[in-house]
Amino acid sequence: MIRRIRERWDQIPFSPLLLASKMPAYVPTVAGLNGLPTHYIEEFGLTSLVVTPLLSDDRVMGAALLDNGGEYFEPSSETLYVSLQFG
């Protein structure tokens, strides 16, 4: 279970997409150049994520990460819709 990740936005390669769209994004591969820093991937056993920006007054204040217990997954349209409502 991911409890807390504290990382500067400029250290997360997929953050420009989130900051620009302010919409949930599916990240099918969190490893490598497009993903999270390696120590988070190893600590939490991450493979794929839905990343939902958390907004306050239309400003991104953070993000909620949804994984599948370390198992690769592709989110359903319902999951993305609920993520959008949450953010």
- DSSP secondary structure string, 14-48? THHHHHHH-S-EEES--SGGGS--HHHHHHHT---
Looking up residue 74, the CATH number of its domain turns out to be 3.30.450.40
In a domain, 3, yes or no: no
Q: Is residue 1 predicted with pLDDT exceeding 70?
A: no
Residue ranges making up the domain that contains 64: 9-86
In a domain, 4, yes or no: no
Q: Name the more confident of 3 and 39.
A: 39
Summarised one tens digit per residue, pLDDT across range 23-70 is: 888 989 888 766 788 888 888 888 898 988 888 888 888 888 888 888
In a domain, 41, yes or no: yes
Q: Name the more confident of 14 and 80.
A: 80
Phi-psi category of residue 70: left, alpha or beta, with phi > 0 → left and psi -120 to 50 → alpha? left
Question: What is the tally of structural domains in the chain?
Answer: 1
CA dist 18 and 36 (Å) reads 14
Instruction: Specify the pLDDT at position 73.
Output: 92
Q: Is-contact 51 65, C-beta < 8 A?
A: yes
Instruction: Specify the pLDDT at position 44.
Output: 85
